[in-house]
Amino acid sequence: MTAKHISNASLAGVFDRLRGTSVLGPISTEGLSWLHRVEAASAPSGSIVEALRRPRAAQSAKGSLLAASEPVGRYGRDAPAATATETAALVLLGVRACELRALGYLDKVMLGGDFDDPTYRARREATTLVACDCAECAETCFCTLVGGRPFATEGFDVNLTPLKEGWLVEAAGEKGAKLLEASQLADAAPAQLAERDKLRAEITERVRSQNAKYGFSADDGNQPQLPEGNDDGWGRFAADCVECGACTNICPTCHCFYLYDHTPSPETFERVRTWDSCLFGTYHRMAGGVNMKLSPRPNLLSRLANRVLHKFTYSPQQYGLLGCVGCGRCIDACLGAIDIRDVVQELSK
């Protein structure tokens, strides 16, 4: 489908009209771009347009599809019969290429096996993805080291490319094409398409050059060779880890969870799925008595190794996809200043 063009003012107008619906998008706050419920935020639509030109948001959109903690089912004598609940439509605004790749990964995990996560499926199907090329990158962005690029050509409904004057708008898939058709926007000029290509080449080169010192290059079909979790090499990094779980919380692909039950009323029981972290000592905790090993990974070193190996070694074997998309959020979030690029570079030597 032909690319379209929209001005800054018109785009702000589109966001104004979206305020009646559920939109999660970036808003600039203290130099960072944060994801907010746009309909609840007081920020003017112009500041959303501005935030789209900033680097990827500080937090991932994962939580809007896989909530930090939510009921996934009810049972018991007085539990209401299971009915298909209406899931509110959601627009994810300003999603970056790394995030789209992460969503592709989550889709494979949550929907690609013998069992579906019904809550995830309902949310995913009710979500419209409005992606956006990266006009800027964070210092920690490293998508190019893991086979990504700072712009997407698929996996979204609509994609925006920030130009010097206004925005280029493109659609992928049926839903996006319909949206774009309804917009009645003017076709983009050939010079605007050329500008898009030039900007994309420039930002890709910027991400590449800021990561040039890292001597590895991975993609879904080509992984760095990392040692298993009994290698002492992990020790240097484990020594800096404080087991806070920030990296797993902020990671757009980390999806491990814990299930627990509670009792809202005497004969109604609710099962809750809540984020968990494989770095926590309690994560693999098993039942057992005295003299029994209660965790297969009692050492932090092996837990940290397991997390990184899951990203770079196990996920490609399980899903044919790397579990790291190079968003760099874990580097920003780490209290122990662990940089996953250093970990991979040093241990894959």
Partner 1 sequence: MISGNPYVPQPAELIEVIDETPTIKTLVLKPATPMPFRAGQFVQLTLPGVGEAPFTPSSSPLEPNRIEVTILKTGAVTDRLHECKAGQTLGLRGPFGKGYPIEKLAGKDVLVVGGGVGLAPLRALILALLADLGKIKRMSIKYGARCTEELLFRKQHESWTKGAKVDMAVTIDRPQAGWSGHTGVVTTLLTGMDIDKSNAMVFVCGPTIMLRFVVVTLVGEQFRSDQIYLSMNRRMSCGMGLCGRCNIGPYYLCKDGPDMNYAKIENYPNVF
CB 35 within 8 A of CB 26: yes
DSSP element (H, E) containing 337: none
State both tokens at 155: 């996996």
Pairwise CA distance, residues 279 & 244, whole Å: 8
Residues near 349 by Cβ (< 8 Å), separated by ≥ 6? none
Residues near 15 by Cβ (< 8 Å), separated by ≥ 6? 23, 25, 38, 45, 48, 49, 93
Nearer to partner 1, 75 or 165 (CB): 75
Across the strands, what pairs with 274?
69, 258
> Can you state the angle between helices 45-52 and 8-18, rounded to 10 degrees?
120
The HSE-up count of residue 344 (CA atoms within 13 Å, CB side) is 26
Nearer to partner 1, 46 or 245 (CB): 245
In the complex, least distance from residue 197 CB atom to partner 1, rounded to whole angstroms = 39
In the complex, least distance from residue 331 CB atom to partner 1, rounded to whole angstroms = 22
In the complex, least distance from residue 88 CB atom to partner 1, rounded to whole angstroms = 19
Pairwise CA distance, residues 277 & 257, whole Å: 7
Nearer to partner 1, 10 or 295 (CB): 295
End-to-end Cα spacing for the chain: 45
Nearer to partner 1, 186 or 259 (CB): 259
CB 322 within 8 A of CB 218: yes
In the complex, least distance from residue 224 CB atom to partner 1, rounded to whole angstroms = 15
Nearer to partner 1, 45 or 253 (CB): 253
Nearer to partner 1, 68 or 259 (CB): 259
In the complex, least distance from residue 89 CB atom to partner 1, rounded to whole angstroms = 22
CB 80 within 8 A of CB 43: no
In the complex, least distance from residue 344 CB atom to partner 1, rounded to whole angstroms = 18
Among 156, 158, 161, 153, residue whose Cα is nearest residue 171: 158
In the complex, least distance from residue 223 CB atom to partner 1, rounded to whole angstroms = 12
- The residue ranges that bind partner 1 (CB under 8 A) are 72-77, 82, 109-110, 113-118, 228-230, 255-263, 269, 271, 273, 276, 278, 283-289, 292-293, 296-297, 302, 306, 309-310, 313-315, 317-318
Nearer to partner 1, 139 or 231 (CB): 231
Radius of gyration of the chain (CA): 22
Nearer to partner 1, 82 or 189 (CB): 82
DSSP string, 147-185: T--SS-SSS-SEEEEE-SSSEEEEE-HHHHHHHHHHHTP
State both tokens at 255: 């999806």
In the complex, least distance from residue 117 CB atom to partner 1, rounded to whole angstroms = 6
